[in-house]
């Protein structure tokens, strides 16, 4: 199996290292990092819904 020897020296995860990010800032990430991480552990989370351009027109 060729893939055996071709694996890189380190395998990168989709999990971002948040251990040194202040908890108050993790909250603000909100975007892909949180969404991707939640998708991995919680496939039915609201963050995994299909992205669409959200309406925001004013009156």
d(CA 5, CA 53): 43
* Cβ–Cβ under 8 Å, residues 14 and 40: yes
Site string for another protein, 1-40 (x = CB under 8 A): x-xx-xxxxxxxxxxxxxx-xxxxxxxxxxxxxxxxxx-x
Half-sphere exposure of 28 (CA within 13 A, CB side): 5
Question: What's the closest the beta carbon of residue 2 comes to another protein, in angstroms?
Answer: 10
Number of chain positions touching another protein (CB under 8 A): 53
Binding residues for another protein, per CB under 8 A? 1, 3-4, 6-19, 21-38, 40-42, 44-47, 49-59
């Amino acid at each position: 199996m060729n893939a055996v020897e071709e694996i890189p020296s380190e395998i990168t995860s989709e999990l971002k290292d948040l251990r040194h990010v202040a908890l108050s800032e993790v909250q603000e990430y909100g975007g892909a990092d949180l969404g991707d991480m939640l998708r991995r552990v919680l496939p039915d989370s609201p963050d995994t819904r299909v992205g669409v351009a959200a309406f925001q027109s004013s009156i």
